[in-house]
Chains A and B, each alone.
Chain A
Amino acid sequence: MNTLKPGFYLVAAEGAKPAAVNIDHALVSEHAPDVLKQEYTAGVQAERDRIVKIRSYTPRGFEREAEQAITAGTSPGEFATSVVEIQNDRGVTLDELARGGQSVAHGGNPAGDSSSGSLPSSKAIFQRRRQQAGHDESKS
């Protein structure tokens, strides 16, 4: 079956099977630069569109996931689906996203420190746990 692009000419060797049909090299040389350039341009445009779409589907706080998707060649649709899944898994609402930032996308801030978007220090986590433990003991 001939699946070549227009502008190319096939030279069928005598008795050749369809899959082994050859192309006239001189004619390929004449036309190939344009076709290769078209393929190259199509590749650039497709990749640019993919990345622009991924960026447009990226809510605040999901920048790291977006960069991973860009690097891995993930399609915008797959990325959008994964964002929704992560949001559902973590119970993230649009309201939280609007207020959120890094802490929303990466599982929240266990120390409950809302003063900054950075991850809490281990000291802050243990201190909070001690406080909670002390509070629970005083109840019982």
Chain B
Amino acid sequence: MNQKADSASEIVTREQYETALREAKAAAILEERQRILDLLEMDIPAAEHLIAAAIVEGKTRGEVSGEILAGAMHEQLPGGSLIWACSKKSA
């Protein structure tokens, strides 16, 4: 049977190749879904615009958190004012 890889002749089956393609796509879907769920889980109403933009731009939750923090630091806000900073940044 030719269904298994034959390392001696460096041949892979079509089935193996197509499986690799399917797995690559499935992994991409799951990783993207998790990225977006992580972003949605942030659940900061004032930063809704930031989060919506991050979903489309492919940013991670960490990157968005960093942006929020950077915005707050730039504004020299006291601790606890991050939500205010988000709303100002997204306005």
Counting contact residues on chain A (CB < 8 A from B), the size range is: 35 or more
A73-111 with Cβ < 8 A to chain B: 73
> Nearest residue in A to B9 (C-beta to C-beta)?
A25
Q: Is the interface of B mostly helix, strand, loop or mixed?
A: helix
- Taken residue by residue from 1 to 45, chain B's Cβ proximity to chain A (1 for < 8 Å, 0 otherwise) reads as 111011001111110010011001111110111001100100000
- CB of A20 within 8 A of CB of B26, answer no
Number of residue pairs spanning A and B whose beta carbons lie under 8 angstroms apart: 95
9 A-B residue pairs with Cβ-Cβ distance under 8 Å, sorted by A, are: A22-B2, A25-B5, A36-B24, A39-B24, A43-B26, A46-B29, A51-B36, A55-B55, A73-B33
> Which 10 interchain pairs have the tightest Cβ spacing?
A43-B28, A25-B10, A43-B25, A47-B32, A20-B2, A40-B28, A39-B24, A22-B11, A47-B29, A44-B32
Q: Which residue numbers of B lie inside 8 Å of A, CB to CB?
A: 1-3, 5-6, 9-14, 17, 20-21, 24-29, 31-33, 36-37, 40, 52, 55-56, 58
